[in-house]
């Protein structure tokens, strides 16, 4: 595990929000990692271990996840609010240029940040695009917000394996255990529960709240910067035709599809090392 510092910032509505700061050269644009709907900053530890040093890596817990406060109003669990929260973080740290790495929901937030004029030097959009497949939305709505409590980490790992074996068909039990440590947390009573506010499901169940009103326009704001589009070959969220259309709409984009994986790649895959390094090199050019 890479060394990092727990840091916090405040949202406009008074929440204490958390991010991990992995140290690096502050002169280079930092890598800002934005996780998926039910996920948190821990998802990016492997990526941060590889990238930190030459540059800082900042891995965010969106409101209602990980060490960040839960929202008083569940209606704020929508992309527009996440964008405002990230803008507050950027302003507090004085960041005017950064590399965005967004998985699923984090990729939607990345596109919306670009549309809002954030100084994105390069972007990685992990298994998400301006159009989300109906099957993927339906699957996610089927599990998000449902409580899960396990007596041991092995039980948690098995629960994840049962629900996600088709997404990561080649994973071994140690991989599922590692994912369990990212997805769940240990309570004071000794139970292992999901590490997010179950109320994030409330606005997500309303059609339209999963993204923004015109995401192709949001994507167009990334036209002039280097973009890496990553797709799981078995993804039910980002289709191959939409991924190809994304690359065609951008001037400096590369598409990497990882065969055999569903939604979403972890970004720890060896096949992504060179494409991510190319993206960072292009961001510095």
pLDDT in tens, 139-192: 999 889 998 899 999 999 999 999 999 999 999 999 999 999 999 999 999 999
Contact (CB, 8 A) for 233 and 260: yes
| Domain boundaries, position 51 | 5-133+214-284
Please compute Rg for the chain using Cα positions: 18
206 domain-assigned? no
Arithmetic mean of pLDDT, 27-40: 96
Arithmetic mean of pLDDT, 237-256: 97
pLDDT band at 206 (very low <50, low <70, confident <90, very high): confident
pLDDT digit string (tens) for 138-152? Answer: 999 988 999 889 999
Q: Give the per-residue pLDDT at 214.
A: 87
Tokens encoding 140: 């996610």
Three-class SS state of 156? helix
Tokens encoding 136: 């993927």
153 domain-assigned? no
Estimate the crossing angle of helix 79-93 against helix 105-115, to 10 degrees.
Answer: 70
pLDDT digit string (tens) for 66-122? Answer: 999 999 999 999 999 999 999 999 999 999 999 999 999 999 999 999 999 999 999
Contact (CB, 8 A) for 71 and 63: yes
Q: Tell me how many domains the chain contains.
A: 1
Please tell me the distance from the alpha carbon of residue 208 to that of residue 205, in angstroms, as a whole number.
9
Answer yes or no: is pLDDT of 209 > 70. Answer: no
Q: Give the per-residue pLDDT at 1.
A: 67
Answer yes or no: is pLDDT of 211 > 90. Answer: no
Cα–Cα nearest to 229, from 213, 208, 243, 239: 243
280 domain-assigned? yes
Beta strands 192-194 and 184-186, pairing class: antiparallel
Contact (CB, 8 A) for 111 and 222: yes
Contact (CB, 8 A) for 176 and 157: yes
Q: Report H helices in the chain.
A: 45-51, 79-93, 105-115, 134-143, 153-164, 173-183, 201-204, 215-220, 240-249, 273-284
10 domain-assigned? yes
pLDDT digit string (tens) for 42-82? Answer: 999 999 999 999 999 999 999 999 999 999 999 999 999 99
Beta strands 5-10 and 16-22, pairing class: antiparallel
Contact (CB, 8 A) for 106 and 210: no
Cα–Cα nearest to 38, from 235, 234, 197: 197
DSSP single-letter state for residue 24:
B
Q: Report H helices in 54-189.
A: 79-93, 105-115, 134-143, 153-164, 173-183
Q: Give the per-residue pLDDT at 285.
A: 59
pLDDT band at 2 (very low <50, low <70, confident <90, very high): confident
261 domain-assigned? yes
Q: What percent of the chain has pLDDT over 70?
A: 97
Strand-pairing partners, residue 31, are 57, 99
Question: How large is the greatest C-alpha to C-alpha distance in the chain, in angstroms?
Answer: 53
Q: Give the per-residue pLDDT at 165.
A: 93
Cα–Cα nearest to 178, from 266, 258, 249: 266
CB atoms within 10 A of CB 132: 21
Instruction: Name the average pLDDT for the chain.
Output: 95
172 domain-assigned? no
Q: Give the per-residue pLDDT at 158.
A: 96
**Size of the chain in residues:** 285
Residue 111: which CATH number? 3.40.50.1820
Q: Give the per-residue pLDDT at 95.
A: 97
204 domain-assigned? no
192 domain-assigned? no
Contact (CB, 8 A) for 78 and 182: no
């Amino acid at each position: 595990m890479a060394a990092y510092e727990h840091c916090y910032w405040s949202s406009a509505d008074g929440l204490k929000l958390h991010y991990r700061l992995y140290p690096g050269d502050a002169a280079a644009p930092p890598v800002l990692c934005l996780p998926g709907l039910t996920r948190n900053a821990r998802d990016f530890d492997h990526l941060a271990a590889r990238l930190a040093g030459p540059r800082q890596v900042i891995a965010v817990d969106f409101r209602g996840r990980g060490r960040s406060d839960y929202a008083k109003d569940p209606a704020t669990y929508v992309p527009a609010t996440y964008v405002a929260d990230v803008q507050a973080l950027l302003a507090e740290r004085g960041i005017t240029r950064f590399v965005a790495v967004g998985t699923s929901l984090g990729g939607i937030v990345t596109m919306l940040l670009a549309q809002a004029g954030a100084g994105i030097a390069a972007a990685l959009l992990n298994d998400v695009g301006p159009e989300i497949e109906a099957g993927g939305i339906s699957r996610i709505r089927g599990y998000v917000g449902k409580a899960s409590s396990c007596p041991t980490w092995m039980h948690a790992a098995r629960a994840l394996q049962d629900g996600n074996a088709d997404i990561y068909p080649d994973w071994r039990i140690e991989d599922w255990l590692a994912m369990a440590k990212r997805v769940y947390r240990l309570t004071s009573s000794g139970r292992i529960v999901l590490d997010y506010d179950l109320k994030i499901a409330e606005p997500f169940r309303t059609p339209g709240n999963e993204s923004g009103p015109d995401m192709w326009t949001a994507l167009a704001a990334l036209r002039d910067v280097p973009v890496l589009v990553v797709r799981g070959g078995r993804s039910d969220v980002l289709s191959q035709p939409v991924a190809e259309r994304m690359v065609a709409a951008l001037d400096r984009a590369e598409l990497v599809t990882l065969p055999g994986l569903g939604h979403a790649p972890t970004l720890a895959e060896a096949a992504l090392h060179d494409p991510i390094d190319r993206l960072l090199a292009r961001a510095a050019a």
